[in-house]
């Protein structure tokens, strides 16, 4: 019976942040004076935050939702309170995944960044999540802790074991299974691999792909796939874009150095880097890149031409 009451309360509490956002938004709009446009922007982001809080659990999953709390949203920057440094670390692995998930669910919010810091997760959020999902940890069997002399510490460890086993039980009821790779993180993904393990394996694939494309920037998506690296076309394009940006900033650094003082090696490196950047953008083969063709260079970046021109010899 008590449980039923709790459930009723928890669904009501989920709506609460949305209402609070709305009330604050209206109140701030009503206030006289000030910049109406600015107020409108604030009100809009408060509403967005309310929507986000209300669905946070579904977006990031219950495990993460009980350790993180979105408290501010400004110009696509989402501010998160995180329960402790360990979860901060977990979050760094999941950051990009969360951002893309959020943008799927809330394309209008255009979230580009997550700023996390250790902070307080509101008690009601924690209680809400724990009570609605996990069996009472106090009813879990007690594991005896051996070798720990400090009484309080031993008690603490016992409690942790109980809570952890209740959590796993609760998640299993919800269809979660322990990750088949790390055997530690409960997951509901169809392949049985948790988000962290998936991220790690994706990272190593990504790294392989990145090295390959960096060495042979003319490779097409099909050619990279044929080499046995499994990645999506979107990831392939993303890697190329990232490499291009890295080349671009290196070009600007080298170019600025050259303009200060000419140096053969720097010039050779600059030419190589510009060639790479052009290949990354166009997919053409190295022998098709003509660095004396000013117009094509300016198509990419006007500055490149400025760096090259004084040193290109008689060609131009
Ligand atoms: Zn795992």
Q: From ligand 1's centre to the CA of 175, what distance in Å? A: 16
Q: Give the 3-state secondary structure of residue 15.
A: helix
Q: From ligand 1's centre to the CA of 37, what distance in Å? A: 47
The C-alpha atoms of residue 305 and residue 316 are separated, in whole angstroms, by 11
Q: From ligand 1's centre to the CA of 28, what distance in Å? A: 45
The structure's pTM equals 0.43
pLDDT at residue number 299:
75
Asked if residues 82 and 60 have their Cβ atoms less than 8 Å apart, the reply is: no
Count Cβ atoms below 10 Å from residue 186 Cβ, excluding itself. 19
pLDDT at residue number 28:
62
The C-alpha atoms of residue 250 and residue 312 are separated, in whole angstroms, by 19
CA distances from 293 to 135, 204, 255, 308 (A): 70, 38, 17, 11
The C-alpha atoms of residue 15 and residue 20 are separated, in whole angstroms, by 9
CA distances from 128 to 2, 68, 222, 248 (A): 14, 13, 48, 49
Output 181-184 pairs: Cβ under 8 A, ≥24 positions apart.
none
pLDDT at residue number 31:
60
pLDDT at residue number 122:
85
Q: From ligand 1's centre to the CA of 97, what distance in Å? A: 15
Q: From ligand 1's centre to the CA of 186, what distance in Å? A: 8
pLDDT at residue number 3:
45
pLDDT at residue number 209:
92
pLDDT at residue number 145:
83
The C-alpha atoms of residue 126 and residue 129 are separated, in whole angstroms, by 5
Per-residue pLDDT of the chain in tens (316 residues, 90 and over written 9): 444 444 444 444 555 666 676 676 666 666 655 577 777 777 788 888 888 888 888 788 877 888 899 999 988 899 999 998 889 988 888 898 899 988 888 888 899 999 999 998 888 887 777 666 667 888 888 888 888 889 899 999 999 888 888 888 888 877 788 888 888 788 888 888 888 888 888 888 888 999 999 999 999 999 999 998 988 999 999 999 999 999 999 999 999 999 899 889 999 999 999 999 999 998 888 888 888 776 777 777 878 888 888 877 644 4
Helix and strand counts by DSSP (H, E) for the chain: 12, 5
Asked if residues 280 and 302 have their Cβ atoms less than 8 Å apart, the reply is: no
User: What is the C-alpha end-to-end distance of the chain, expressed in Å?
Assistant: 86
């Amino acid at each position: 019976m008590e449980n039923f009451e709790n459930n009723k309360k928890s669904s009501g509490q989920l709506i609460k942040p949305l209402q609070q956002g709305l009330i604050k938004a209206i109140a701030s709009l009503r206030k006289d004076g000030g910049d109406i446009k600015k107020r409108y922007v604030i009100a809009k982001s408060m509403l967005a935050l309310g929507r986000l809080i209300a669905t946070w659990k579904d977006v990031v999953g219950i495990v993460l939702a009980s350790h993180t709390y979105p408290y501010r949203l400004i110009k696509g920057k989402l501010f998160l309170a995180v329960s402790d440094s360990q979860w901060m670390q977990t979050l760094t692995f999941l950051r990009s995944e969360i951002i893309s998930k959020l943008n799927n669910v809330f394309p209008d919010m255009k979230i580009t960044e997550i700023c996390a810091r250790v902070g307080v997760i509101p008690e009601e959020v924690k209680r809400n999540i724990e009570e609605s999902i996990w069996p009472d940890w106090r009813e879990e069997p007690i594991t005896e802790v051996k070798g720990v002399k400090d009484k309080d510490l031993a008690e603490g460890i016992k409690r942790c074991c109980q809570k952890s086993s209740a959590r796993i039980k609760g998640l299993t009821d919800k269809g979660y299974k322990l990750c088949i790779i790390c055997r530690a993180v409960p997951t509901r993904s169809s392949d049985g691999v948790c988000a962290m393990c998936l991220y790690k394996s994706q990272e190593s694939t990504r790294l392989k792909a990145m090295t390959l494309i960096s060495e042979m920037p003319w490779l097409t998506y099909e050619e990279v796939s044929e080499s046995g690296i499994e990645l999506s076309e979107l990831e392939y394009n993303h890697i190329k874009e990232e490499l291009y940006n890295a080349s671009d900033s290196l070009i600007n650094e080298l170019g600025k150095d050259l303009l200060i003082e000419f140096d053969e090696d720097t010039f050779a490196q600059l030419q190589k880097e510009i060639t790479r950047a052009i290949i990354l953008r166009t997919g053409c083969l190295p022998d098709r890149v003509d660095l004396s063709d000013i117009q094509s260079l300016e198509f990419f970046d006007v500055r490149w031409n400025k760096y090259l021109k004084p040193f290109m010899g008689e060609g131009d």
